[in-house]
Amino acid sequence: MEKNGNNRKLRVCVATCNRADYSKLAPIMFGIKTEPEFFELDVVVLGSHLIDDYGNTYRMIEQDDFDINTRLHTIVRGEDEAAMVESVGLALVKLPDVLNRLKPDIMIVHGDRFDALALATSAALMNIRILHIEGGEVSGTIDDSIRHAITKLAHYHVCCTRSAEQHLISMCEDHDRILLAGCPSYDKLLSAKNKDYMSIIRMWLGDDVKSKDYIVALQHPVTTDIKHSIKMFELTLDALISFNKRTLVLFPNIDAGSKEMVRVMRKKGIEHHPNFRAVKHVPFDQFIQLVAHAGCMIGNSSCGVREVGAFGTPVINLGTRQIGRETGENVLHVRDADTQDKILQALHLQFGKQYPCSKIYGDGNAVPRILKFLKSIDLQEPLQKKFCFPPVKENISQDIDHILETLSALAVDLGGTNLRVAIVSMKGEIVKKYTQFNPKTYEERINLILQMCVEAAAEAVKLNCRILGVDNDGNCAALAERKFGQGKGLENFVTLITGTGIGGGIIHQHELIHGSSFCAAELGHLVVSLDGPDCSCGSHGCIEAYASGMALQREAKKLHDEDLLLVEGMSVPKDEAVGALHLIQAAKLGNAKAQSILRTAGTALGLGVVNILHTMNPSLVILSGVLASHYIHIVKDVIRQQALSSVQDVDVVVSDLVDPALLGAASMVLDYTTRRIY
């Protein structure tokens, strides 16, 4: 980036709220300080930096030889949710005077803390440009909401990973104002490991401790679930006591719930336990030496999933606080625990390992990129930031005709026996349906489909239905269940359609699976017997060859030709073709051979479902189509006999939708044409 056209130095205000954000901001501050011909640096200190219980960490800023222009006491004690809100309010009251006095050109704000939100809000309302460090990342708590809120207030963005950059673009931030620089702390991390570390280890953990033979623990409260995070902390301490290794425990941050966590530490005697060293603060230079040579780090600090990866030190990440972070292979996640056993097992798995060093968050050259980015900022550009929204094709929100119309889809079902066309409303109601027998030749089918669609479209005008599109898909039944049926709200389920043939659809993570060549979910052609009957696909022993309407019709004809189909109470007119329904009727009336054929067909279908359960492990299997109710009990029996115990509890149900294929075809159109992406 070229140097901007400003005629004076850029006045940069760096505001730091706690020990964690200072570790990221300090490298930038040092870089600014080395180029006095371009920059003037003002340092504002607030938050937990100024509290004795949290180590009075403002002193390390002074030790780094930075002049602190302003100290703002902004923390309201209480360490609960209300205290956090009051602290934001207090900062908002005090910051305007400071910013009026300093008059910075740009404010550098880091991360996702509540104090940082107060800084960004104040600067934005006072027309001061904001450079946000580490936007676009995902963690898993209220920090996400705060981080993204600061992103919306910020004018410029420095992100650490490619994913974070893409998130910022997806959030409609201007790509030209986003810098992918890497994490500034990595500039120090990647050059720090060769220093004299044993003296640091002995100072904090004792003279008898060796490299790779101790643990660093750092755990903070999760403000969206304080009670659970305190329980996790208690279990962590129990596991560490049982593990019996020297452990450096850092006090938690000032978030709501920290007071209760400190009480847990004192209740368990951690501060006086011979295996533990409990401290409020470790200078960052020394802290990185400690984690670089630890046998393991445990807790829920972002440092564990971000910075520690640079050394390949094993990490155990506890709970949900960092659940969305990108991590290296050195991180083992323990999402939840009811006892200390799971955490203890994780300690046994991780302690003492050495992983490859990870550079997900930086390559050690972030600061030069950031300084170059700062120099490129043109103060003559308009202050008002612009958002890069994707284009919206049509604005119809004030169209009275559209409001009065019934939004509908024209759905087409190319069945093996019948062609069906329907007008389907947004609510899944079939407004009008047309059914015709499926002609034998391709030309006749196409002509009939066109004729039926034209007729339906003309009728839609009379019914005041606005046709949004036409579609047809073999996975329609699954889509119908997802939108209108028993699959609504489920993340993973499978639908099997029993009709003239056997079809299906797979919903995985709420999305329809198409496969690499759009032929996924051909479930009717799962082979359940190597020497089974011929299938229309050219193979042998497919489910469809046993359980489809065509297969049952074939077996019914065989019985009828041998005079073994009809029983008392049955008759088949001479001009009527024998079909699957006759076989079913015969079975109901006690025909043992018909019953055996249906049982074999149902067993084949059941074996297919077992294979699906073992492969996909869905939470639900839905049988639809005219034969579903006749197969359901046999399928459940096969699952009980053949499936692994871990999937036997998966429910198998009969669809309660009428015409699921038509509803599914309609749902594709309605979902696609009415959605908006911002």
Q: Check the CA dihedral 123-125-130-134 and report its sign.
A: positive
| Pick from 362, 206, 354: nearest CA to 279 | 206
Cα–Cα distance, 358 to 292 (Å, whole number): 13
Any residues with CB less than 8 A from the CB of 608 and at least 6 apart, and which? 496, 523, 526, 528, 543
Any residues with CB less than 8 A from the CB of 100 and at least 6 apart, and which? 126
In the numeric block, the tokens 């810098």 are attached to 179
Selected catalytic residue, list 473, 534, 637, 651 = 473
- 129 and 155 Cβ atoms separated by less than 8 Å: yes
Q: Return the structure tokens found at 245.
A: 């290794």
Cα–Cα distance, 585 to 572 (Å, whole number): 11
Name the E strands within 588-627. 620-624
Q: Return the structure tokens found at 654.
A: 């009969």
Phi, psi of 632 (to 5 degrees): -55, -45
Question: What 3-state DSSP class applies to 47?
Answer: helix
What are the beta bridge partners of residue 106?
12, 129
In the numeric block, the tokens 């034998």 are attached to 440
| Pick from 152, 163, 93, 155: nearest CA to 122 | 93
In the numeric block, the tokens 């520690």 are attached to 308
Q: How far is CA 187 from CA 15, 22, 31, 156, 288, in A?
A: 20, 14, 11, 21, 12
Centroid of chain to Cα 79: 30
Q: What is the 3-state secondary structure (H, E, C) of 336-375?
A: CCCCCHHHHHHHHHHCCCCCCCCCCCCCCCHHHHHHHHHH
Cα–Cα distance, 459 to 406 (Å, whole number): 13
52 as an active site residue: the answer is no
Phi, psi of 60 (to 5 degrees): -70, -25
Cα–Cα distance, 477 to 349 (Å, whole number): 45
Which residues are catalytically annotated? 473
